Structure 1
């Protein structure tokens, strides 16, 4: 009886000459996260790049503490801090060329700011004032994505379209470890690999999807190992080593730009603060665990490297801290100003041509505001959205 004749025991048997379409060995990540700082290889790193990374890390840390304070003061509805993850944020933004696109998650406002976005605009969504708060095309930063992993297929679509058009563009999509449990993650990686789209996936593995630890999300040796199942390389990197993250991402971006297809990068890092201001992290992790990761702080790691190589002195440290304080003061001043909100903007930028339902709802709101004497001056004299055009 052949295998096909044995009830319930069929397994597809490849022909004798069968060979895998892709050799899986080169796709597998290293057994340990890749590191540069504190190793002999660090001596070969560009000092100017390291100093630039350091300045961005210092400002990024101050930005996180200031945004957290604004949340406690009621100036932000919510803030997902990236304290402890600044190396991933900074490296992701600086690994891209101006023509490339960044696809951030809700925690990646710092990456958007390093990319050139105004901090106030980056926080507008979290303030609850606008759907996005900035023009994505100005700095090539896609809207901050609150749903888990839905930005990944968007990044693949843009990258694939750019390739079809002949545009020299790479998309870098950021996602947390929790997002790798979503179907969008699978769909994005599968599509990107099949079509060899010029996209880089950066997974910031900070240990928890809110309160769910990584061990309850996957049994894979690492998240980077998931890449081999899609036919793309996986890279595992120390997410607190900003030089290592920058090098790995830069190599992945260059590979994508040269037509080599996508890469999945897992950066092992840690979320020092709670998930958001609405989260009590003490319910699912210990203070001792947090303190262990504080000893591997990304800012301190780079500062030790720079001072050890005599590339950073006290005057430069103070200058970077002063620049960070000026940034924080400007952010604080502008965020403490009450915004002038126009309720009619709820209906703007939803569709190119408003639907009949939106026109009806806009007309109803306009009538209510007019009756209450609360119609903004900017809306007076404008055509009513509820009218047919």
Structure 2
């Protein structure tokens, strides 16, 4: 049966529209985006890169808690989200806070989430999303359920979830895509393959030559996309959304991308498992540089416009961290109150105990 496997694997070729020089290599696949939409996508990517840089600095200053860097994955994250609608439901992993922000989560709440404050997990009215999932792959199960609910209610909306390459080695990944496939749930499953699950190379996790081909076993459509190409990511996600709302079932999208920083700021050292040569190779594929070249050639982007976005991002971040700093500190009683609608006796006792402590 080896020839059958080889035949299947050869079908999963990486989908690309823009090459590393920002040149269009697949004109027929160009998405139908206006000039202003192309510029808005660039604005969001640049803004997100600055947010990442400032978040790393704030983490090092002790002003943020848990943080997973995103630089390098802007096309994979922001371009996929750009293809969604407000009514779509987002189920992110812990690195996917930027998508949540562009989906409507206020920036100060994103900072509160990083600090472990419960308010950072409370989505504002109208923001259709769950808070970032820390358990690897668990959001795939949740997305299957949300997508099935949308399907049963006849909603023209989809559930979109993300995981990394390491997430595809989890049982929840297979259960999620299989369940969604059986019921033609309105789901888009995105795997951001940045080459390393923390420190384990993708090749050491799975024998599969691509992660997109794992869709075959679940009987759903799968595609591998150049995750450093925002136009390709957008087009693939748009296609997946259109299929889902037509009742044609879920889709698995593997984006080939790279994170320039550590896995998280919690002590990971990428120099222990990645070479400087590999880093340099991927820096040449930078999604922002690539998209900038494309837009500049079309006369749609200038250095002045980019600097305006950078300054706006810095100002927004200053205001958001200031608001987060001024936000009421959470208390033990807050956790107890948020745990149950009606407190059991043991927690009623603890509530009274901590109320007394906090009133001193």
After TM superposition, the score normalised by the length of structure 2 is: 0.90
Dislocated runs of 4+, deviation >6 Å: 25-28
Q: Is the 8 A contact 2:159 2:187 kept in 1?
A: yes
Residue number in structure 2 paired with 1:281: 270
Q: Which residue of 2 aligns with 1:343?
A: 332
1:173 Cα offset (Å): 0.6
Deviation, 1:334, is: 3.1
- In structure 2, the CA distance between the partners of 1:353 and 1:96, relative to structure 1 (3 Å rule), is farther
For residues 111 and 178 of structure 1, what CA distance do their matches in structure 2 show?
A: 20
1:191 and 2:208 are equivalent in the alignment: no
Larger Rg: 1
Q: Report how far residue 310 of structure 1 moved.
A: 1.4
Residues 353/136 of structure 1: CA separation in 2 closer, same or farther (3 Å cut): farther
- State the match for 1:30 in structure 2: 12
Q: How many residues align structurally? A: 347
Is this contact kept in 1: 2:88–2:157, CA < 8 A? yes
Q: Which runs of 5+ in 1 are unaligned?
A: 1-24, 374-389
Candidates 33, 39, 56, aligned match of 2:24: 39
Q: For the residues of structure 2 that align with 1:94 and 1:269, how far apart are their CA atoms? A: 17
Equivalent residue in structure 2 for 1:245, among 228, 233, 241: 233
Give the counterpart of 1:367 among 352, 356, 360: 356
Instruction: Please report the RMSD computed on the Cα atoms of aligned residues, expressed in angstroms.
Output: 2.1
- Describe how 1:1-389 pairs up with structure 2 within 5 A: 30-36=12-18, 37-40=22-25, 41=27, 45-130=33-118, 132-135=120-123, 138-277=126-265, 278-337=267-326, 339-370=328-359, 373=360
Question: Do the aligned partners of residues 349 and 93 (structure 1) sit closer, same or farther apart at CA in structure 2, a change above 3 Å counting?
Answer: farther
Q: Is the contact made by 1:28 and 1:234 (CA closer than 8 Å) also made in structure 2?
A: no
Of stretches 43-52 and 54-63 in structure 1, the one that deviates more from structure 2 is 43-52
Say which SS state the counterpart of residue 139 (structure 1) adopts: coil
Name the CA distance, whole Å, in 1 between partners of 2:59 and 2:327: 14
Distance 2:356 2:301 in 1: 62
Rounded Cα–Cα distance in structure 2 between residues aligned with 1:364 and 1:339: 21
Q: Where do 5+ consecutive residues of structure 2 fail to align?
A: 1-6
| Residues in 2 aligned to 1:210 and 1:252: alpha-carbon distance in whole angstroms | 28
SS in 1 for 2:189: strand
User: What's the offset of the Cα at 1:119?
Assistant: 1.4
